[in-house]
Structure 1
Amino acid sequence: MITSFFEHEKIETTTMKAKELKPMIEKMITKARVKNINILRDLLKTIRDKDVAFHLLDEIAPRFSTRPGGYTRIVKTRRRIGDGAEMAILELVESGRSLSDKRKSELAAQKPKKKSSEETKSSDKEVAAKS
C-alpha cells in the first residue's frame, strides 16, 4: 500500500488502514528529505519499486523540505456497500503530478502523431497526381 500511495500520491482505503498507514508514510517522507544512498537503501526495504523510491526522493520530499510535518491528510468519504466499512482517502497535503501521470504523458509523447484531415487530403492528392 505504501508503494501505491507514493506512486499515485493518493489512495482510497478503510479509515483504520489509513490511520495505521499515515505515521509510516510521514516518517518515510521525513527521512527522504535528506537525500543520500543510505536513505535510498532504507526506503527500498519498504518500497519495492525503484521508480517509486526515486519519485519520493526527487519530487515528493523536496516539496515538503520547509514543512515541519503533517504531510498527509485523511478525508472520510463513504461507507463501503459490502460490509459497511468506513472508507477514507489518504492523500498528500500539497498534491502534484503523480508518477502514473508522468508515465502516461511520457507514453503519449512517444506515440506518433496522427495526421490531420487536411494532411491526409493533401497526401491523397499527391498520390493521385503521381499515378
Structure 2
Amino acid sequence: MRHRCRVHQLSKPADQRKALLRALTTELIRHGRITTTKARARAVRSEAEHMITLAKEGTLAARRRALGYIYDKQLVHALFETVNERYGNRNGGYTRIIRTVPRRGDAAEMSIIELT
C-alpha cells in the first residue's frame, strides 16, 4: 500500500529521481521556463518553490542548503540576489504549470512549468 506516501516516484530509483529533480530545478531557475511531462512538472514544482523560499530567507544556512541542491554555484548567488525584488511580497505560488499538446511518440501529457 502507498497510503500517505507523498513523493512522486516517477518510475525511477531514488538516486536517479533525486538527480532528475535537481537537474530540472536547476534548469527551471536558470531559464525561467522548461517543457517536461506533467508528472515531472508537478514533482519539480515543490522543489523549485522550496529553493525560492530558501533564497527569500537569505541566511548563510539557507544559502548552503541551496548550494547543496542546485548544481550551479553562480546560479545560486544570482537567485539569492534577485529573489527579494521579484518575490518579496509573495507567500508562495512562484511557479505555474500550463498543459500543452501530448508528446508525439508516446502521447504523454506534456506541460510547461515557468516561474511567475
Q: Matched residue of 1:11: which SS?
A: strand
Q: Deviations over 1:61-87 (max 9, x none)?
A: 431010111110000011111111111
Query: Which residue is 1:78 aligned to?
Result: 101
Number of positions where the alignment pairs a residue of Structure 1 with one of Structure 2: 93
Question: Are the counterparts in 1 of residues 54 and 63 from structure 2 also a CA contact under 8 Å?
Answer: no
> How do 1:45-64 residues align onto structure 2 when only pairs under 5 Å count?
45-64=68-87
Question: Are the counterparts in 2 of residues 33 and 62 from structure 1 also a CA contact under 8 Å?
Answer: no
After TM superposition, the structure 1 stretch with the greater mean CA deviation from structure 2, 10-19 or 51-60, is 51-60
Query: What amino acid does structure 2 have at the position aligned with 1:41?
Result: R
Query: What amino acid does structure 2 have at the position aligned with 1:62?
Result: E
Q: Which 4+ stretches in 1 moved above 2 angstroms?
A: none
Question: Are the counterparts in 2 of residues 29 and 61 from structure 1 also a CA contact under 8 Å?
Answer: no
| 1:39 is the counterpart of 2:59 | no
CA distance in 1, matches of 2:43, 2:97: 11
Deviation, structure 1 residue 60: 3.2
Question: Are the counterparts in 2 of residues 13 and 87 from structure 1 also a CA contact under 8 Å?
Answer: yes
Which ranges of structure 2 fall in alignment gaps of 5 or more residues? 1-23
Query: Which residue is 2:115 aligned to?
Result: 92
Query: Which residue is 1:4 aligned to?
Result: 27
Q: Could you say what the CA RMSD is over the residues aligned between the two structures, in angstroms?
A: 1.1
Structure 2 length-normalised TM: 0.75
CA distance in 1, matches of 2:111, 2:48: 16
Query: Which residue is 1:113 aligned to?
Result: none
Which ranges of structure 1 fall in alignment gaps of 5 or more residues? 94-131
Identity %: 38
